[in-house]
Structures are given as structure tokens and as C-alpha cells.
Structure 1
Amino acid sequence: MNKTGRYIAYYRVSTARQGRSGLGLEGQRSAVLGFLNGGSWTLIEEFTEVESGTRSDRTQLAAALAACRLHKATLVIAKLDRLARNVAFVSALMEAGVDFIAVDFPQANRLTIHILAAVAEHEAKAISDRTKSALAAAKARGTVLGGFRGRAGTPGDLERARASRTASADQYAADLAGTIATLQAGGITSLWGIAKALNAKRITTPRGSGWSASQVQRVLKRLSYNQGA
């Protein structure tokens, strides 16, 4: 079946020596390109993680997932087996909300990741069951449950909604930070210039529209505020 759409590639080598020599890396890249070959696809970026298998702070994985969200792209990896055994990778992929495909296991999907994380989910279910029991007891006592159905939001409800919106905006700004920094380093420093470059890269605003200078300014202010916090 021909592959279509946008892709972000993520490769992993275990040691700095492998990273310098290309050992393992070229094989992964060849597998990815061979898998995509024959379709109408765009490989937007490639990220390579050079790390020990015991490390969990995968900066390049975070960058790859951010790029997937910005470009509405699919993450493609060469081998799922090694990565799937890493809890940090599984957790990051589940929380990122991006689609992925593994060359060595193309049938795998986000459902597979859920299965791989079955033990953690079992524990979460136990917590959920206890929470449901507590809510059922509260409802039996006459406590009103649910969201804003049939009532105005309380100050606490509204504050949580604002916090959720703020967190979402902060995440999107953080995803954009690297791209904007690269543009600025390349001499594109004006608000309109950055907006034009983001539009050229087909990166949309959180709402899916094109960028304007004022929208870029808001993102820069948010990044400046968060970095100074």
C-alpha cells in the first residue's frame, strides 16, 4: 500500500560511538525510507537520539513529538521492539497524542501502546474503581455530580477551565520554541517574517489557521514569560 501524508522520523542509537560512526543509524534510516518508498509522502524532519538505554530524558524524542504536533505528521520509527520496552518512550508516545508507525510492526498503532502499558493501566483502573465508588456514595448523599450541566460554573470550575487552556497554549508555544529560534538564528526576526515563515512551513496556529504578526507576538510573550518564571 502506498504511503501518503507527512512523516517525522525518529532514530535511536545506544552509545555516542554508534552515533558518530552511524552504526545502526544508517540501517534504521534505510528501513524507514524503504518502507515509505513508493507513495506520495513527505519526510519533514529526522531526529536521532544518542543515549544509554537506561536514560529517560529523551530530548530528541520530545522534539520529534513536538514536530509531529506542529506539522500534523505521523511519527515513523524503524524498530518498535526495543523502544516499546522503554517505559519513558511508551509514556511519552501515549501522552503526546500523535499517530505513529513502526517499520518492523506496521500493524502496531496507539492501541498496541496501550496493550504494552497494560500493567500501568491495571493500576489506574483500580484507582478509577475506587473513585467511582466514592462518587456513587456522594451521589447517594445528594451531591450534584458532573460538569456545568444545568448550572453556572463555580469559581473553581472556571479556574480549572482557564488552567487547562493555559496549559494547552503553553505546550503549543513550547513546541514552537525550537522552530522560532532557528528562524531567528537565520536572520528572520520580525514578527511578520516569522509568521510568513511558519505559514510557508505549513505550521498552523493552535486553532488551525494561518499565522499573523500579532499571533507570533503572543507566542513570544508566552515563551518569554514562561522562561522567566
Structure 2
Amino acid sequence: MAQGAFVAYYRVSTARQGSSGLGLEAQKETVRRYLNGGDWTIKAEFIEVESGRRDDRPELDRALTFSRLHRLPLIVANVSRLTRSSAFLHRILDSGAEVRFCDLPEIEGPVGRFLLQQMASVAELEAGFISGRTKAALQAAKARGKKLGGNRGVVMTDAIREAGRATRTAKANERAGDLAPTLAELHAAGVTSYGALARALNERGIPTARGGEWSPMQVSRVMAKLAEKAV
């Protein structure tokens, strides 16, 4: 049985399906069966009225942003409801959001992410085979008594350190971008001090990048990031 909060994404092909419940209610029931009782809530629902062949999915983008912002899993009734294009699956993978498909219950965690990558591109299947052969070769080498792991004399070059810094900066900028609409809404409502903003984010259940509660200092850092992006 599931526990915690989730975000649900539904896609219907026509406005009639969305208003009459045809297709939509079936997807909602699929999500309920997947969660299988337990102490859970759907924090937000996003309904896309789109053709599966179109490239623009504004509700999917909103759902992914909400999922990342609140650090909640995004649930989709089935893969076909999400996309018929590998490009969308790659978008899911690149988004950093945790996505669960009700018709593929094993698509969770690192193993699920790997399987999703295979679905996104047949070419990546060969990479999976290569990975498997590499692991087998390492196990064989270990069985022969060859020492694996440990310090191989790898030196952290300036380029490697710079790449690491660039990755951390990109993630921080992405997080700031996800927070920007909420912070703008709070500012418009007269919530402007760092302390008040921190309290408002905590009250809304929006965690920090590390999953904790906000402090005025953390809010100030996000605001600084947004100011840098605006320049």
C-alpha cells in the first residue's frame, strides 16, 4: 500500500473526454488501484487535452515542475497516455522528476530509470548490453584474483573540478527557476522579507533542494540566483 503525497498527470485526446470523464475517469481509477489503499493523497492533478502526436505539452511541463518543486513522485496511468515519442521520455529523464507508470510498476528507482531509458531509445539497449558485459568482465577479473577498485592514480584535474562546479551550478539554477513563480506570487501578495518567504515556503510544503525546511539565508541565496539570471 502506498503512503505519502503524489502528483497525477492525465492525458485525454479531446475536450469531450476531459469533460465527460471518458478516458479520464478510467485513468484516475488506474491510479487509485496502483496506490492500493494506504495513507496517501494526490497533492495536485494535471490534465492535458492533447493529441499524442503533438510536441507541446504545457500541462506535462507544469506537472514536472510541480513534482520537482515539492519533491513528489509523478504518477501516470500508462505509458501510452504520456507519449508516443521517445523525445518525451527523454524529457522525463532529463527533468529529474521521479515518474511512476501504473502499468509498469517496476519502473521505480535506479532500475526503473534504466528501463525507461531503454524504452526511450532502442539504441540505448546496446549500451545496456555493454554495461552488462563490462560487469561480467569485472567479476571474472575479480575471480582471477585481480584487484578491483581502490585508488587507480586518477588525478582530479582542473577540468574535472570545473565540470563538477558547472553541474552543481546548473542544478541550483534549475531549482531557482522552479521556485521563481511561487516567489513572485508571494511578493505580489506582500510577502517580501527573507524570513516571511521562508515561512511561506515551509507552510506550502515546498522543501529545500536537500529536502529540509527553509531558512532566511537559503531564501536569500535563491533570490540571488534569480537576480543573476535576470541580468
Alpha-carbon distance, 1:182 to partner:
3.6
SS of 2:122's partner is: helix
Matches within 5 A, 1:158-173: 158-173=161-176
Alpha-carbon distance, 1:52 to partner:
3.0
Q: 2:220 aligns with which of 209, 217, 222?
A: 217
* Unmatched segments (≥5 aa) in structure 1: 129-147
| 1:110 alignment counterpart | 113
Change (3 A) 1:202 1:82: closer
| 1:64 alignment counterpart | 63
1:41 maps to 2:40: yes
| 1:3 alignment counterpart | 2
Deviation sequence 1:105-151 (CA, Å, 0-9, x none): 4344434313312413157689x9xxxxxxxxxxxxxxxxxxx9757
Alpha-carbon distance, 1:7 to partner:
0.7
CA distance in 1, matches of 2:43, 2:73: 10
Matches within 5 A, 1:1-229: 2-16=1-15, 18-19=17-18, 23-36=22-35, 38-108=37-107, 109-122=112-125, 153-228=156-231
Alpha-carbon distance, 1:204 to partner:
2.3
Alpha-carbon distance, 1:101 to partner:
2.4
Change (3 A) 1:186 1:42: farther
Alpha-carbon distance, 1:77 to partner:
1.1
**Structure-2-length-normalised TM-score:** 0.72
CA distance in 2, matches of 1:73, 1:32: 15
Alpha-carbon distance, 1:169 to partner:
0.5
Task: Tell me if the contact between 2:52 and 2:84 (Cα under 8 Å) persists in the aligned partners.
Answer: no
Deviation sequence 1:68-111 (CA, Å, 0-9, x none): 23323211112223425322321122223333322334344434
SS of 1:121's partner is: helix
CA distance in 2, matches of 1:51, 1:174: 26
Alpha-carbon distance, 1:153 to partner:
4.4
Alpha-carbon distance, 1:227 to partner:
3.7
Give the alignment's Cα RMSD to 1 decimal: 3.2
| 2:137 alignment counterpart | none
Change (3 A) 1:111 1:29: same
Change (3 A) 1:206 1:185: same
Q: Size of the alignment, in residue pairs?
A: 208
CA distance in 2, matches of 1:192, 1:35: 40
SS of 1:52's partner is: coil
| 2:148 alignment counterpart | none
Change (3 A) 1:195 1:74: same
CA distance in 2, matches of 1:20, 1:227: 40
Task: Tell me if the contact between 1:8 and 1:45 (Cα under 8 Å) persists in the aligned partners.
Answer: yes
Alpha-carbon distance, 1:168 to partner:
1.1
Equivalent AA in structure 2 for residue 169 of structure 1: A
